[in-house]
Chains A and B, each alone.
Chain A
Amino acid sequence: MNPSPAIEVRDLSKRFGDVEAVRGVSFTVQEGEIFGFLGPNGAGKTTTIKMLCTLLAPTSGVLRLAGFDVTKSPDDVRRAIGVIFQDPSLDDRLTAEENLLLHAVVYGVPRAERRARLDEALAFVDLADRKKDLVRTFSGGMKRRLEIARGLVHRPRVLFLDEPTTGLDPQTRKATWEVLRGLRDRNGMTLFLTTHYMDEAEHCDRIAVIDHGRIVAEDSPEALKRAVGKDVVFVRTNEPAALCDVLAERYGLTPDRTEEGLCFRVEDGEAFVVRLVSEARVAVTGIAVRRPTLDDVFLALTGRQIRNGNGDAGRDRMRAMARRR
């Protein structure tokens, strides 16, 4: 048996007037895979998801989901998928339970199973005790958790998650990932997600880095990191000038002076550090070796840092405001 891939995208493009949001994207996601789209604001991640989940007609390209042509059989596709949108999508004048019940009915969850599914989903996101409350009384993170729970109620074959953990605290983020990985491992659910968070991208089996509507790299997190290569080494010393000279003369390195000490990139950082300590006659007070992160991958592939820090915080705050209405 050779099942059709969960998602198959060929030369997908989307144009909004003058804006080319997606420009010829192709990729395939196998059943049971966790596939991540990693890219900065405006890269075209949400636009791609909207086209995959039948909400937006592509300008051109082929889209197949669970073997169905997305443009020709949207209802078959809709039955196979679940979507956790980037922007708010709850009815905040209904209670948590009412939101989930409507979802269960609409997706044809059998009546006998509904109660159990709802309770299970609410327990997953730790909202069981708030199920009778109107969603408008929830905090931003609680709303987000409820949206995640709702996406799981009908046990879709393919689940789309557009920046699923934005606005969640670190513990909740971790717990959410455990739930999601569990669903994949136990039920073989396929996950397609977008994120800006490096540590989340590492939960994926494969990652496509997308920028300006184009995929600039596609591989496993490990392979992507390997492609960028060298480890990053930080060395602290009381005599930075002397150590700089040693590094330059003996090893041909040009370290940067940073807050964490002298910083440089080498293959196999640990082995290098051992050699450095035994060979250099300069007292070293601290050492750190860091594997390249997806931040580094992104920098190497696109020449740009993924926008984080202030930009991201501002955006999260805007989203929080949008949620509060």
Chain B
Amino acid sequence: MRAEVVYHLARRDVVKFLRDRQNLVATLVRPLLWILAVGFGLRRAFDPGATGVDFVSFLVPGVATMAVLFSSMFSAISIVWDREFGFLKELLVAPVPRATLVLAKMISASVTSLLEVSVVLLVAPLLGARIDPLGALFAIPVLVAFGMAVSALGITVASRMKTFEGFGGIVNFLIQPIFFFSGALYPLDGLPPALAVVVRLNPMSYAVDATRGLCVGVHHFPILLDAGVVLGTLALVGALAVRSFSRMQA
């Protein structure tokens, strides 16, 4: 696997992401709307006594992880796009292992979602969130791994889908439960047992937990468990993505 090939393939996606200004602005602003609307809207309903931090600070790591989830998942739509507009043939006939093509996609997805995360983490203090800068720096690798895992899931879906509508339908169906059952919006202590089980089965819960632990010092699981689950998920879904992508025919 040649690193230069991965770099140029990933660069193509990032260049196109940066070139599309309207989409870029919308993508970067969307997470901030969450912090403003949900953070300030629900601030009074939240009991800081339970976690020791105010709701806006509590929410910011959740929104950062959410941004990674959404943008990494939808970045795989570029595969459907490439199939629709014909460029996928050029990629599939190239003398490059399919795993390289998949890895490049995963990297470009995590780079673009990191841009969003950076905006969230840089603007959050201005909105009154108390984020530990060093902890936030350590959270980046966790979010990168999580973004790559999510993008692998997106690639798996995109490899099997023939249309934009099909991809959109499946992805929305997947993304809602992953997001809502993750603890991005609420603490994991004292959940009803059924919900607690579902949350524990959801890999995103561990990504949120690690990010929140590192950024604001509130967490539910040991950080090593969080990291282990995220990396394990990445390995598993990554392998699945390579398999699905390799089976695809033009």
Which A residues lie at the B interface, using CB under 8 A? 50, 53-57, 75, 78-79, 81, 83, 85, 87-94, 98, 101-103, 105-108, 150, 325
- Name B19's closest neighbour in chain A (CB-CB): A93
A-B pair count, CB < 8 Å, reads: 72
Indicate if B221 sits at the interface (CB-CB under 8 A): no
Give the shortest distance, in Å, between B77 (CB) and chain A (any CB).
14
Give the shortest distance, in Å, between A319 (CB) and chain B (any CB).
11
Closest 5 CB pairs of A and B: A78-B95, A79-B95, A55-B250, A89-B86, A88-B86
Q: Is the CB of B9 within 8 A of A106?
A: yes
Q: Is the CB of B94 within 8 A of A88?
A: no
Once A50-B250, A91-B87 are accepted as A-B contacts, the answer to whether A105 and B95 lie under 8 Å apart by CB is no
Other-chain contact of B87, A83, A89, A325 (Cβ < 8 Å)? A89
- Name A106's closest neighbour in chain B (CB-CB): B94
Give the shortest distance, in Å, between B189 (CB) and chain A (any CB).
47
Interface bits B75-94 vs A (CB < 8 Å: 1, else 0): 00000001001110110111
Indicate if B22 sits at the interface (CB-CB under 8 A): no
A98 to B82, CA, bound (A): 16
Once A101-B8, A325-B85 are accepted as A-B contacts, the answer to whether A94 and B15 lie under 8 Å apart by CB is yes
Once A50-B250, A55-B250, A90-B87 are accepted as A-B contacts, the answer to whether A106 and B8 lie under 8 Å apart by CB is yes
Contacts of B82 in A (CB 8 A): 91
A89 to B250, CA, bound (A): 12
Other-chain contact of A54, B2, B93, B97 (Cβ < 8 Å)? B93
- Name A87's closest neighbour in chain B (CB-CB): B86
Indicate if B176 sits at the interface (CB-CB under 8 A): no
Other-chain contact of A105, B5, B16, B249, B250 (Cβ < 8 Å)? B5
A59 to B82, CA, bound (A): 26
Give the shortest distance, in Å, between A110 (CB) and chain B (any CB).
11
A153 to B43, CA, bound (A): 59
Other-chain contact of A90, B86, B93, B96, B250 (Cβ < 8 Å)? B86
Once A106-B9, A106-B96, A108-B2 are accepted as A-B contacts, the answer to whether A94 and B89 lie under 8 Å apart by CB is no
Q: Is the CB of A102 within 8 A of B93?
A: no
Other-chain contact of A75, B5, B15, B16, B95 (Cβ < 8 Å)? B95
Contacts of A94 in B (CB 8 A): 12, 15-16
- Name B101's closest neighbour in chain A (CB-CB): A106
- Name B248's closest neighbour in chain A (CB-CB): A55
A107 to B8, CA, bound (A): 12
Q: Is the CB of B5 within 8 A of A85?
A: no
Give the shortest distance, in Å, between B48 (CB) and chain A (any CB).
47
Other-chain contact of B9, A87, A102, A325 (Cβ < 8 Å)? A102
Indicate if B165 sits at the interface (CB-CB under 8 A): no
List 26 A-B pairs, Cβ < 8 Å.
Answer: A55-B93, A55-B249, A55-B250, A57-B249, A75-B97, A78-B95, A78-B96, A83-B93, A85-B90, A88-B85, A90-B90, A91-B12, A91-B85, A91-B87, A93-B19, A94-B12, A94-B15, A98-B15, A101-B8, A103-B90, A103-B94, A105-B8, A106-B5, A106-B9, A107-B94, A107-B95
